[in-house]
Amino acid sequence: MRKICVSDRIKKKAGIILCATLILATSIITQVKADEVSDDFVIAEGLEIIDGTNGGASGGIIQKNPYAEDFVSGCQFDIPSKLKKGLNRFDWLKLQVTVTVKNYTPLTGEKYDTYGNRLTPIVYIYGMDSRYENWNMSDCDLIQDPQTVKIELDLAPYIAEGTLGEIGMEVAGCEIGSSVEWEVESVRIIGDGEAAEAEEGNNELKYEPSGTMKEIAPESTEVGKHGKLSIADVDGYIAPVIVDKYNNPYQLRGVSTHGLSWFPQYVNKGAFQTFRDYWGVNLIRIAVYAHEGDNAYVNQYAKEWTEREGNYYVEGQNKEYNDKLIQEGVQSAADLGMYVIIDWHVLNYNPNEDLEEATAFFQKYATMYKDYENVIFEICNEPTGTAWFNGSDNDLYSYCTKLTNVIRECGSDAIVICGTDSYSSKVDEVAGHLLEDKNTIYTCHFYSASHYAEPMKKLTDALANGVPVIVSEYGVCTYSGDGRYDVENADKWLDICDKNNVSYACWAISNSYETAAYFKENLEKYDGNWIEDDLTTTSKYIIKRYNDRKVEVEDLWAKENLRSEADLKSEEDMRLDEDLNLVGNSKTEEVSQPTEKTIGEEISQADDNVSTPEEEAGKSPMIPIVIVAVVIAVGAGVIVKKRKSGK
């Protein structure tokens, strides 16, 4: 007997005939969908069968599942690399498995799970995302031996998340310690990604590296033209902004390294120069994970995400190695006339816990770079679970005050970036409690596929309340650094930044499996001159966005004739500038000034236009068929009821 079924694991049977009718209805659904699928929709087939929980390619032993409270045996299916990430390019995606299960031993007696469901033999297929979360399954009852079934699992939850970490098949509801055999006849993934292809085509990336770097005289580089940056009030802006040495508003467009110890190969002058010459970048952010302990290198990915990440202060050579990379990075940026952030990459803890180590770190580098015009210090990347200000000696205000004082005592007047609570998302809480040091700025981080109207409002509220803000890290994917993309929402965020002269840096310079990575997985090109085929959606987005913004800013500078060094040679020149209206409001027109009303309208529009993953998942062509199936099932139930009542 061949049975096709797709059902949920929680089974509430209302009688043999009704159950059979539901199975028939779901069989119809699966068959209709399978019949509709042509070879053009087959994304991958013949997936390799590998060992799974208590089982292998042809069978296993029913034993305790080490990851859950049940007893199973199963196998996994090897996921093609093209389906491990970037699943947001698909409109729909499904896993289809045909398997014959035999020689299994049903449970003796009546046994129930924690939900009160009676345990009976089943076979199911399942999926999880790249962090081994978001577990979903589709199952089928085993009522014959042997029994061949075809099961289909909707992978829509992973389209929304953007990643697929594990798929497999398991048998459950059998005697503990008994053996079970299976023969997997076919495994395939079907889907439709036409919409994603169209999106790629609309990217209009104009990116053609010549293979040679541009020779730019030091005085013509960004640092050469604008000098040391600072924070100042400027007419026309509702909050203090970054300004250059002439007190003109200046915006940083940056790229951020991943953790130095994991992707050190990109810290070199050739890579930085490609960012400068072809990507429209004027800022490099060097992320130095700050954790003191033994969590180092590849071991990070095996740790729980609740633990600290990083390894600057690990015993042995890591500290010296990171110091070498930091100094190479800062000097390469200086040689190229680019700005650089040295980022003490606190992640998910109170930075006061490492105050002693942070103090030593910034004493060293503030002293080393006190005379450099291009260096900026970020003293805590994403502290979490720590209030900005509560009057104690253990809040972020206290920490940032202490570290800023350390930097000033070393003779550096560089900009200091202060992290905010909850992964630097609560920048609005800084209002009313700014540091006394006026050359400090406060960071807001966002990931456009996770953060929409509510966190966006925190940014605009902070600005409206006079808080100087920098987005020292953002991504065009989900907050995990992986998952789906949302470039439209990224545009909304950066539009607000551009209108308010808020600087930003995108995560991350790497070739990892994550969607935040700039380069395709395992691409072995590290010193620049990357071509379009080397790039991911993240890097293509920032190249286009940054170059467009660079042209816009340069045109505005030329149009408004903003003050230059020649304008400041003497008091007489400054008075002449005033007579010619070259100071005051005219110098602030680089970016159109939004009123508070304009900001509110932007947030409202962003909220109205956002389509959540859940809403997208709801647009399913299967809904009418499911309704028909339910009608059939209900009708069958009515028939059963009438027959029992004799009517």
Q: How confident is the model at residue 563 (pLDDT cuts 50, 70, 90)?
A: low
- The partner residues of 172 in beta bridges, in order of sequence, read 72, 122
382 labelled catalytic: yes
The pTM for the full model equals 0.62
User: How confident is the model at residue 313, as a pLDDT?
Assistant: 53
Question: Among 182-186, 418-422, 518-522, 597-601, which is the least confidently predicted range?
Answer: 597-601
**Cα 331 off chain centre by:** 29
d(CA 562, CA 586): 8
Going from the C-alpha of 74 to that of each of 97, 100, 170, 498, the distances in angstroms are 13, 13, 4, 53
HSE, side-chain direction, 13 A CA sphere, residue 33: 29
Written as one letter, the residue type at 579 is: D
Q: What percent of the chain has pLDDT over 90?
A: 55
Q: Count CB neighbours of 166 within 10 A.
A: 16
User: How confident is the model at residue 613, as a pLDDT?
Assistant: 40
- What's the token pair of residue 43? 């994304």
- What's the token pair of residue 518? 């700039």
User: How confident is the model at residue 291, as a pLDDT?
Assistant: 66
HSE, side-chain direction, 13 A CA sphere, residue 606: 27
Going from the C-alpha of 357 to that of each of 297, 362, 386, 610, the distances in angstroms are 20, 9, 18, 42
Catalytic annotation, pick one of 473, 514, 590, 602: 473
Question: Among 74-83, 288-297, 311-320, 603-612, which is the least confidently predicted range?
Answer: 603-612
Residue positions counted in the chain: 647
User: How confident is the model at residue 360, as a pLDDT?
Assistant: 94
Tell me the pLDDT of the chain averaged across its residues. Answer: 79
Name which of 417, 425, 483, 482 is nearest 452 in CA terms: 425
**What phi and psi, each to the nearest 5 degrees, are found at residue 60?**
-175, -165
Q: Which residue intervals of 336-448 are DSSP H helices? A: 355-368, 396-409, 421-424
Do the bridges between strand 253-257 and strand 283-289 make them parallel or antiparallel, or are there none, so unpaired?
parallel
d(CA 487, CA 527): 27
Residues 317-321: what's their mean pLDDT?
74
Residues 604-613: what's their mean pLDDT?
45
Q: How confident is the model at residue 210 (pLDDT cuts 50, 70, 90)?
A: low
Contact 507, 256 (CB under 8 A): yes
pLDDT, tens only, 220-254: 999 999 999 999 999 999 999 999 999 999 999 99
**DSSP three-state, residue 140:** strand
Residues 408-431: what's their mean pLDDT?
97
Q: Count CB neighbours of 50 within 10 A.
A: 12
Please confirm whether the linkage preceding 455 is cis (ω < 30° from 0).
no
Q: What is the largest CA-CA distance in the chain?
A: 108
- Tokens 């036409």 correspond to 194
Higher pLDDT, 319 or 475: 475
Catalytic annotation, pick one of 222, 309, 378, 382: 382
- What's the token pair of residue 256? 């951020």
d(CA 241, CA 207): 31
Q: How confident is the model at residue 110 (pLDDT cuts 50, 70, 90)?
A: confident
- What's the token pair of residue 447? 């990931």
CA torsion sign, 414 to 256 to 308 to 390? Answer: positive
H or E segment and range at residue 44: strand 42-45
Extents of the domains making up the chain = 2-198+615-645, 226-609
User: How confident is the model at residue 499, as a pLDDT?
Assistant: 95
DSSP for 519-553, written as a single string: B-TT----SS---GGGB-HHHHHHHHHHHHHHHHH
Going from the C-alpha of 296 to that of each of 221, 259, 357, 378, the distances in angstroms are 37, 10, 17, 22
Contacting residues for 404 by C-beta, under 8 A, at least 6 apart:
379, 416, 418, 435, 437, 440
User: How confident is the model at residue 307, as a pLDDT?
Assistant: 44
DSSP for 192-226, written as a single string: E-HHHHHHHHTT-------SS-----GGGSHHHHH
User: How confident is the model at residue 364, as a pLDDT?
Assistant: 96
Q: Is domain 226-609 given the CATH code 3.20.20.80 in the classification? A: yes
Going from the C-alpha of 85 to that of each of 89, 101, 428, the distances in angstroms are 10, 31, 33
Higher pLDDT, 44 or 436: 436
- The partner residues of 418 in beta bridges, in order of sequence, read 442
- Tokens 């060097």 correspond to 286
Which stretches of 435-515 are assigned E, i.e. beta strand?
A: 440-443, 446-447, 469-475, 504-509
194 labelled catalytic: no
- Tokens 């803000």 correspond to 469
